[in-house]
Amino acid sequence: MKTLYPFLSVLALCLSLHLAGQTVPKGFNYQTIIRDVANNQPLTNAAVALSFNLREGSPDGPVIYQELRETMTDGFGLIDHVIGTGVVQLGDFASIDWSSADKYLEIAVEVNGNFESLGIIQLWSVPYALFAEHTLDNGHEWLTGNADPNSSVGQDGDLFLNTATGDYFRKSAGVWLFVGNLQGPEGLPGSPGQNGVGILTAVNNGNGTFTLFFSDGSQFTTSNLTGPAGDPGAPGQPGDPGAGITQITDNGDGTLTLTYGDGSTLTTSDLTGPVGPEGPEGAEGPEGPSGQAGQDG
């Protein structure tokens, strides 16, 4: 028998009926994920050996049935087994009287060559078909319906299962008495999920792209997110009437004063241009008339 890793833990337990055609079930399903507690990771694709012990009356009561199962975990660390179909070490599964006393299931796993108990759980709701296999021997019947039974149904000693709720009852002195519910106990919590990666900042690169900075130190730049140009907007409202110039006054100093239709005025700066260049020399004038004769000497 192969020795397993030294630290193992059970994550979840699921018990359900194992049906074989229309016959009474000869076992019930066991499913679990086996983890290596050194790193809290599932023990995947590994050989494991498990021991299943049924105790009667109390958690430390006598073992009335024991079987072994060697199997392989799958890629998720999961194993499936039908209790009642393993290699029998003690007792006879088919002869167990499920109605006689409380039953407790102990699961043990091989660690370093020895089987170590993973814990003991009470089978609060015995699979009713297993229970019925023994109660039917005395002529009593299992009845079913989708509501609680009324007194007109069945005979004393009969059992009734409400298929809508899982409640089951036994009839005694003409009255249906509640016995229990087939729903098993709540499973163990799953392991915590990994922390998510959030966006710390987003930077607009000015070219239509954004760079996202994540909490794990990574970053990502998007493609250009600029969309196509939108349709033209609706025409704007007409503007107010303008204030036209009604008068221009020359102030004689090179400035002009503009008077507008709303009464306001504006005086310009000096609009006189610079002095122009000197003009060319004029043409020679005509000969002047002769002067008067001088006095005699």
- Contacts by residues 261-269 (CB-CB < 8 Å, ≥ 24 positions apart): none
Q: What pLDDT does residue 195 have?
A: 82
pTM of the model: 0.42
DSSP 8-state code for residue 23? B
CA distances from 98 to 94, 125, 171, 216 (A): 10, 10, 18, 55
Question: What is the structure's pLDDT at 126?
Answer: 54
> Greatest CA span in the chain, whole angstroms?
194
* pLDDT tens digit at each of 297 positions of the chain: 444 443 444 434 444 444 333 344 577 788 888 877 678 788 899 899 999 999 998 999 999 999 999 999 898 888 888 899 999 999 998 888 876 778 899 998 887 788 888 888 887 655 545 554 544 445 567 888 888 999 888 888 888 888 888 888 988 889 999 988 877 667 778 888 888 888 999 999 999 899 999 888 999 999 998 889 889 999 989 988 777 888 989 898 989 898 888 888 989 898 888 888 888 888 888 887 877 777 776
- Of the candidates 48, 16, 49, the one whose C-alpha atom is nearest the C-alpha of residue 30 is 16
Q: Which of 16, 9, 195 is nearest to 116 (CA)?
A: 9
State the pLDDT at residue 223: 93
Copy the structure tokens of residue 139. 């002529």
Distance CA 175, CA 171 (A): 5
Kind of pairing between the strands at 199-204 and 210-214: antiparallel
Tell me, what's the pLDDT at 205?
A: 94
What fold is seen in the domain 8-125? Immunoglobulin-like (2.60.40)
Edge-to-edge strands of the sheet including 265-267? Answer: 245-250, 256-260, 265-267
Cβ atoms within 10 Å of 33's Cβ, excluding its own: 21
Q: Where are the domains of the chain?
A: 8-125, 139-185, 197-224
Q: What is the pLDDT of residue 154?
A: 87
Q: What's the pLDDT at 125? A: 55
Within the chain, strands assigned E span 8-10, 14-17, 28-36, 41-42, 47-56, 63-72, 78-83, 87-90, 103-111, 114-122, 142-145, 159-162, 167-172, 175-181, 199-204, 210-214, 219-221, 245-250, 256-260, 265-267
Distance in angstroms (rounded) separating the CA atoms of residues 195 and 216: 10
Angle at 45 between CA 43 and CA 48, to 5 degrees: 70
What is the rounded CA–CA span in Å between residue 169 and residue 99?
Answer: 13
